[in-house]
Structure 1
Amino acid sequence: MIHYIDLRAIAHSTEDPARVRKALDFFLLPSPEGEDRNTDDIVEVIDAEGHYGNRMTIFSAHVPRKKDLKALAAFIRQHMLPEDVELLREEMPDRLDDDQVFHIRLDKQAAFGEQVKLTSSSDAIIVRVKIETYPKNRQKAGLIVEELFG
C-alpha cells in the first residue's frame, strides 16, 4: 500500500521558522493511538543559504511506520475541503509519477491555522506519498491513491 510519506517545508528568511515548524507538526502530531507525540525524532532541520545568499531553514520528515502512514493519509483526506478532494481526483493521474510517488502541495498558512488546503504554490508543505505495488504497476498504484485520497 504506502511505503513511506515524506513531508518538507521551507522557512524563508522572511518567515518565522517556529511558525513553519508548527504548520508541519500539524500533520505529524496526531498519532494512531491518539496520544501526543514529540516530532523532534522524525523532523530533520537544515539551515541553508539560497541562491542569493538568503537564509532559510528546511524542515523534512520521513514517516515509514505502517500505522503512522495510514493515520497520516486518513488525517489529510478527512480534513480536506470537498472542492480540494474533487481537484485531487481530477489531477490524480498527473500527480502520480513513474516511480509511483504521489505528489501533494499543502498550504503552509492554512496548516498553521490547522486546516488542510491544497495549493499550487511552490511555498508549500510538499508531501510525497510512495506507493508500493509488487510487481511495480502504475495502474494498481493509481487505484491505491484513489482509495486513500479519492
Structure 2
Amino acid sequence: MPRVPFHYIDLRTFCYATEDEKRVEDALRHFLAEEFEIDRVTNTGHHGDRIVVLSARVESADGMRVVLDRLAELDAIDRVLEELDDRVDDNCSFFLRLDKQAAFNGLVRLGEGITLRAKVEAYPAKHEKAVANAREAIELAGGDADE
C-alpha cells in the first residue's frame, strides 16, 4: 500500500472488573504492531467497580498499515464497504466496532468491545472524498497491492 489516507487511527476498549486485563490488552494488541505502547486510564464505575480504559493512537504510516492489514482479515469486509457512507461522519472520521473476544482468539469480526475511529485524510474535507479515500485504503489492504 503506497499511501495511507488517514491522519491517525484510534483503538479503544474497556476492561471491566470481571475481565483479565492481560487478556483484554492482548485482544487490543491483535490490531497493533508488536512494540506499540498502550495507554491505560483507571476509572471507577457507577457501582464502585474498577474499569480500565485501554487505548492506542496509531499515527505512523507503518503502524496504520498493520491495523489495516488486520482489518483486511474481516470476513464482513464487503459489508463494511457497503456501509461506508454511514461509517464515515461529516467530520471525516471512520468508525468500526470490533469483537473483543474474537480479537483475543486471533480473529477479526464486527461486534462489541473494541472501538476503532480513524480520521480520514480528505482534501477538501468533505464526506464524499473521505468515503472514497477510506474505500481505497480498505480495498488496497484487502488486496495484494505491493506498489
TM-score tier, shorter chain, comes to: 0.7 to 0.9
TM-score, with normalisation over the residues of structure 2? 0.86
Measured in 1, the distance between the counterparts of 2:81 and 2:61 equals 24
Partner of 1:19: 23
Cα distance in structure 1, aligned partners of 2:35 and 2:134: 28
Q: What's 2:129 paired with?
A: 140
CA distance in 2, matches of 1:27, 1:92: 20
Are residue 57 (structure 1) and residue 46 (structure 2) matched?
A: no
- CA distance in structure 2 between the partners assigned to 1:74 and 1:50 by the alignment: 34
Which TM-score applies when normalising by structure 1? Answer: 0.84
Measured in 1, the distance between the counterparts of 2:7 and 2:23 equals: 29
Could you list the runs of 4 or more consecutive aligned residues of structure 1 that deviate by over 6 angstroms after TM superposition? none
Aligned AA (1:91): E
For structure 2, the 5+ residue unaligned runs are 140-147
Matches within 5 A, 1:43-82: 43-77=38-72, 79-81=73-75
For residues 43 and 104 of structure 2, what CA distance do their matches in structure 1 show?
A: 22
Alignment size in residue pairs:
135
Q: How much does 1:93 deviate?
A: 1.1
Please list the CA deviations of residues 6-47 of structure 1 after superposition, one character each: whole Å capped at 9, or x if unmatched: 000101111111110000011113xxxxxxx323xx310111
CA distance in 1, matches of 2:89, 2:47: 31
- Aligned twin of 2:116: 127
Unaligned runs of 5+ in 1: 30-36
Q: Which secondary structure state, in structure 2, belongs to the residue aligned with residue 61 of structure 1? A: strand
In 2, are the aligned partners of 1:3 and 1:131 still within 8 Å (CA)?
yes
Describe the superposition over 1:81-125 as per-residue Cα deviations: whole angstroms up to 9, x where unpaired: 1xx112212221111111111000110000000000011x3xx11
Out of 35, 39, 57, the position equivalent to 1:38 is 35
| Identity level (%) | 36
Q: Would the aligned equivalents of 2:32 and 2:67 in 1 still touch at CA under 8 Å?
A: yes
